[in-house]
Amino acid sequence: MDDNIVLGSRTLRRGDTGSDVELMQNFLKVLPEPIGTQISMQEKGNFGRETENAVKKFQKYFGLKVDGIVGKNTFLFLGVPTDSYLPPGAPLFGARILQRGSYGWDVWVLQNRLATTAKVFADALGGPADKSFGPKTEAAVKLFQRDVHLQADGIVGPKTFYQIYYFAGMGGRILQRNRWDRNQGYDVYWLQRSLKDLGYYEGKLDAIFGSATEEAVKKLQAAANIKVDGVVGAQTFYHLASI
């Protein structure tokens, strides 16, 4: 099995194998009923019948085309923008090595994902995502790499990308109410979990960005003294880590 297939770089369907399949399976296993489902270890990294059924269940829940194929809309609802959902000219997250001096949308995603994973990484970053991979981002990456038992070189290559996807549930796109491309999915589930852990959200963990989620976001924003608009961008991501 190829361990270095960038998540979102290809459409996934039954019969495929690889690290991208394994990550997608992990997302589906983490989500609670009735969104996600357990997939046996026998299919780890292998897109078999169980995985196909799990994808269909996920698609049905969110009103996507129920075909068991992970294309750009299903990837989007997994919090992984691809193709036309990427900003113009932006590389797919994971498609290039990131290191000090790198600049761009994928660095923004990296910074958001690190900040929302643990407060120690947010503290190391020192501020919201700014697309620029400087010494503070390098320090945060090294802390993360040590935590997941990788070589702490501050360079984000395939192994680090994999672990970031594994541990960081959100940060790949702006989240907000009343936008089809921003208000449902795996990352919204993690947003709700974080807001609940912080004491701002008491609703269901349904992965749908409704009025209760928006109000919780606004409460967090007010407490953090940032713009209170209910939209989850870099400023809000930076304040979402609870531990």
pLDDT digits over 25-50, tens only? 999 999 999 999 999 999 999 999 99
Q: 159 and 202 share a domain?
A: no
Q: 127 and 157 share a domain?
A: yes
Q: 234 and 196 share a domain?
A: yes
- Which CATH number is 162's domain given? 1.10.101
Q: 109 and 156 share a domain?
A: yes
Q: What is the pLDDT of residue 242?
A: 79
**Which residue in this structure is represented by tokens 């761009």?**
104
pTM, two decimals, is 0.96
Kindly state whether residue 23 falls inside one of the protein's structural domains.
yes
Kindly state whether residue 97 falls inside one of the protein's structural domains.
no
Which residue(s) pair with 175 in the sheet?
A: 232
pLDDT digits over 51-79, tens only? 999 999 999 999 999 999 999 999 999 99
Kindly state whether residue 231 falls inside one of the protein's structural domains.
yes
Residues 6+ apart with CB under 8 A from 40: 50
Q: 109 and 146 share a domain?
A: yes
Stretch 86-93: mean pLDDT: 96
Q: 157 and 116 share a domain?
A: yes
Residue 80 in contact with residue 185, Cβ under 8 Å? no
Kindly state whether residue 173 falls inside one of the protein's structural domains.
no
- Which CATH number is 198's domain given? 1.10.101.10
Kindly state whether residue 100 falls inside one of the protein's structural domains.
no
Kindly state whether residue 67 falls inside one of the protein's structural domains.
yes
**Which residue in this structure is represented by tokens 């609670």?**
32
Residues 6+ apart with CB under 8 A from 53: 37, 68
Q: 197 and 162 share a domain?
A: no
Q: Rounded to the nearest 5 degrees, what angle is found at the Cα of 124, between the Cα atoms of 24 and 215?
A: 65
Q: 149 and 191 share a domain?
A: no
Q: 37 and 67 share a domain?
A: yes
Q: What percent of the chain has pLDDT over 90?
A: 98
Kindly state whether residue 99 falls inside one of the protein's structural domains.
no
Q: What is the pLDDT of residue 2?
A: 52
pLDDT digits over 98-112, tens only? 999 999 999 999 999
Residue where one domain finishes, among candidates 139, 167, 195? 167
Residue 48 in contact with residue 77, Cβ under 8 Å? no
Q: 191 and 156 share a domain?
A: no
pLDDT digits over 128-149, tens only? 999 999 999 999 999 999 999 9
pLDDT digits over 156-196, tens only? 999 999 999 999 999 999 999 999 999 999 999 999 999 99
Q: 147 and 119 share a domain?
A: yes
**Domains in the chain, number:** 3
Give burial (CB, 10 Å; 0-12/13-18/19+) of 34: exposed
Instruction: Give the structural domain span for 146.
Output: 105-167
Q: 156 and 122 share a domain?
A: yes
